[in-house]
Structure 1
Amino acid sequence: MIKSTGILFLVALFTLLVTACGSDEPGSLIVLTHDSFDIGEEIIAQFEEDNNATVTIQKSGDSGEALNRAILEKGNPSGDLLYGVDNTFLTKALREDIFIKYESSRMEDVPSQFVLDDTFHVSPVDYGYVNINYDIAYLEEHGLTPPKTLEELTGEEWKGRLVVQNPATSSPGLAFLIATVSYFGEDDDYDYLDFWADLKENDLVVKDGWSDAYYTNFSQYDGDQPLVLSYATSPAAELYFSEGAYRTPPTGNMLVDKATFLQVEGIGILKGTQNEKLARKFIDFVLDTPFQEDIPSRMFVYPVNSKAVTPDFFKYAEVPTLPSDIDADTIDENRDEWIDSWTKVVLR
């Protein structure tokens, strides 16, 4: 009996030691995101060091494409988290039930206006305003004045000079489509589809994603279009990247009332992950000030943490006074129809 008890004690001790050793084994996370994601290597390295883990950032096209991938992989995701789902696609993501609920304690530092989802399947991480940018030097060289209304974009002087993104694959593209619905309305004498039809006739250029439109087509980067759909923070980013070559931003913002869109991005833990505990820690980390304060100079959008400090060059980041006023429920009810109608008018 004593011998049997001793054996049981040794087995229990061995199990305890194995468990203890196992807890020290390194973890790993895969974060699915869009092509525009950028954060300092030293920031990610700090999380890895603090949590004895490795983090792999897996880019999957624009945010709409990244979400579509996560939906296709529902229940058996190739990643543990999805970073970049925004308020234009949020309800679609929630309806597909691809996220695990998690409310981070860091949410106490996030103003309520940026809370995407009150069930906390998705936590907000950053925000920015989508609008049209223009190349100042190009306009001056060609004797053009920056357009002050969307209607002006259909004029002869802007023929072939505007590049936007496809709303079916790009969150900025969808954001601008929604803004045009807000601006022109539906089923009026001249509604949003009439506007897009006129843009098409005016040789509108459409790209699948933001990066391609901005860095390939925008004349600031030797492309052919001096007008590009981007963000209100992009001119400030251009100044920052110029490393002193410019004293003021080389690009400007076309800020038209009800024709800009407040875009809020979020992060969520994907159902099926085997690393939920570590994924929760990563969300806490993303909402903390070191990560949040790195966002503006990397992705040129605003941090949602109210305690995060933005860099000096953000004083050149203009804020629209009256963005579009279409709520999330209306977007959810009409998004697919708007995209389908846009596709028929613009791409077919």
Structure 2
Amino acid sequence: MPRLARRATLSTCAALTVASLALAGCSLAGKEKNPQGTGTEAASTDAPVAGSTVTLVTHGDFALPDELLAKFESETGLELEVRKVEDGLPNQLALTKDHPLGDVAFGVDNGSAAFDLQEGVFADYQADLPEGASKFLLKGADDKDMLTPVDHGAVCVNVDLTWFEEKGLQPPSTLEDLTLPKYKDLLVVPGATGSTTGLLFMLATMDQYDEEWTDYWSRLVANGADITKDWSDAYYGGFTAGKSGGTRPMVVSYDTSPAFTVDEKTGESTTAALLDTCIQQVEYAGVLANAENPAGARELVDFLVSPEVQAALPDSMYMFPVATGTPLPEQWARHAHQPSRVYTFNADELADQRQEWLAEWRNVTTR
């Protein structure tokens, strides 16, 4: 099974690992753009300087094809450098906002974007959005026009269909089902303080249970839910379908995950996402305030919503493109089913109360 994307973690004491790639190559069909995007006035309307470097700061799972990045360089005349923050991207961006690590950030998601907006991390620029992308703008954030949505997916509970079939047990369907005695000790969950996957799952339970959300978590823990540091530990360490000897047939993962657990003999996926348990995740790109190359940064943000990049996202970063009509791989069309309804939250409210909510979650789950 291909490696699934692991979301950036949230630790405020995150260790920063920076890896740089210099990429070169051929040509990308250009387009005429409004230099100020669809937001308010951009920091500068100067054209990018040929031969100058534009630096992308992103999470460790950024993996667009080299030939595609080389086309960006050839078309724009810019040299692209990719710096990967392996842990705690949103916090590192906030800590370095006065002297940013690069010119553009990609990979801040709807669980942390409002926090970075409040911290003044981003400059005022938004790319011309492709058809369908506007519905992924940050909900509830006053400065949502400073970020450009690039990809999306949904955090959902996944189940190992093979395990349930062998045990003669019907899989659960809803969040409430997870607390039933027959599913005791079967669930593994990435922690809300250690990953955006876990944080978004916590927010889904808050939307479902409102003021009683901590009671729900008490019941979930009492039913034997195993809480791990991050998504990778949960999926590859605890999940029975994670191929690492896990013992739990239910895990909080993504709606795209079943596309990567297809049995070669039958052509069917051995896992499924429970589509009544999902909350949307959207990843954004933004020009960093105090960027050394703001003109090049705007070119790079535009590039990330180009048709070529949007088409490459499923195979390279395991997320859905935001542009309507983008073709999907065959396995996605068959097995990566999207929920018709997702849980929601207000981004600004999360930014204001995240620490309080996480403290409540930690108190309940560590009793």
For normalisation by structure 1, the TM-score amounts to: 0.82
- Greater Cα radius of gyration, structure 1 or 2: 1
Residue 270 of structure 2 corresponds to 250
**Sequence identity (%):** 33
TM-aligned CA deviation for residue 159 of structure 1: 3.2
- Asked whether 1:37 is paired with 2:62, we answer yes
Match of 2:97 among 70, 74, 80: 74
Alignment partners' CA distance in 2, 1:179 and 1:302: 20
CA drift of 1:295 comes to 0.5
Instruction: State the alpha-carbon separation in 2 of the partners of residues 42 and 157 from structure 1.
Output: 50
Q: For residue 108 of structure 2, what is the amino acid of its counterpart?
A: V
Matched residues in 2 for 1:303 and 1:66: separation?
21
AA paired with 2:315? S
Q: Is the 8 A contact 2:59 2:86 kept in 1?
A: yes
State the partner residue of 1:91.
Answer: 114
More helix by share: 1
SS of 2:342's partner is coil
Answer whether contact 2:159 2:251 (CA < 8 A) is retained: yes
Residue of structure 2 in register with 1:202 after alignment: 223
| Residue of structure 2 equivalent to 1:344 | 363
Matches of 1:319 and 1:214, distance apart in 2: 20
Q: 2:261 aligns to what SS in structure 1?
A: helix
Structure 1 residues 225 and 81, CA, compared in 2 at 3 Å: closer, same or farther?
farther
**In 1, are the aligned partners of 2:104 and 2:300 still within 8 Å (CA)?**
no
**Residue 172, structure 1, aligned to residue 208, structure 2:** no
Deviation for aligned residue 1:57: 3.0
User: Where do 1:106-255 residues align within 5 Å?
Assistant: 107-116=129-138, 120-186=145-211, 191-220=212-241, 221-222=243-244, 223-239=246-262, 244-255=264-275
Q: Deviations over 1:121-172 (max 9, x none)?
A: 2110011111100111122223332112223322344333222222223222
Q: Structure 2 vs 1, CA of residues 261 and 41 (structure 1 numbering), >3 Å: closer, same or farther? A: same
- Confirm or deny: 8 A CA contact 2:90 2:113 kept in the other structure: no
One-letter identity of the residue aligned with 2:356: E
Amino acid at match of 1:112: S
1:245 shift after superposition: 4.4
2:350 aligned to which of 331, 334, 339: 331
**Cα separation, partners in 2 of 1:68 and 1:251, compared to 1, 3 Å:** same
Confirm or deny that 1:293 pairs with 2:311.
yes
Shifted more, 206-215 versus 128-137: the winner is 206-215
- Aligned partners of 1:36 and 1:211 also within 8 Å: no
CA distance in 1, matches of 2:228, 2:59: 15
What's the secondary structure of 2:57's corresponding residue?
A: strand
1:39-78 map, 5 Å: 39-61=64-86, 65-78=88-101
| 1:318 pairs with one of 337, 340, 356 | 337
How far the C-alpha of 1:23 sits from its partner, in A, is 5.0
User: What are the superposed Cα offsets for residues 11-33 of structure 1, whole Å, 9 maximum, x if unpaired?
Assistant: xxxxxxxxxxx955x33333222
CA deviation vs aligned residue, 1:34-53 (integer Å, no higher than 9, x gap): 23333222222221232344
2:193 is aligned with what amino acid? A
Please provide the CA RMSD for this pair: 2.3
Q: Is the 8 A contact 2:160 2:249 kept in 1?
A: yes
Give the whole-Å Cα distance in 1 for the aligned partners of 2:177 and 2:206. 17
Q: 2:195 is matched by which residue type in structure 1?
A: S
Residues 166-202 of structure 1 show CA distances to partners (whole Å, capped at 9, x for unaligned) of: 222322211111110111221xxxx211121222233
- Compute the TM-score of the two structures, normalised by the length of structure 2: 0.78
Cα pair distance change 1:58/1:141, threshold 3 Å: farther
Q: What is the CA deviation profile of residues 99-119 of structure 1, one whole-angstrom value per residue up to 9, with x for unaligned ones? A: 1111223x1534421122665
Aligned mates of 2:289, 2:154 — CA distance in 1: 30
| SS at 2:97 equivalent | coil
Q: 1:115 to 1:149 in 2, by over 3 A?
A: closer
- The Cα shift of 1:69 comes to 0.9
Q: Which amino acid aligns with 1:72?
A: L
* 2:224 counterpart letter in structure 1: D
Q: Kindly state the Cα deviation for residue 252 of structure 1 after the two structures are TM-superposed.
A: 0.6
List alignment gaps of at least 5 residues for structure 1: 1-21
CA distance in 1, matches of 2:297, 2:348: 29
Report the residue type matching 1:199 in the other structure.
L
Q: Shift of the alpha carbon at 1:264?
A: 1.4
SS of the counterpart of 1:99?
coil
| Separation (CA, whole Å) in 1 of partners of 2:261 and 2:201 | 21
Q: What's the secondary structure of 2:126's corresponding residue?
A: coil
Task: Work out the CA distance in 2 between the residues paired with 1:163 and 1:38.
Answer: 27
Give the superposition deviation at 1:236.
Answer: 1.8
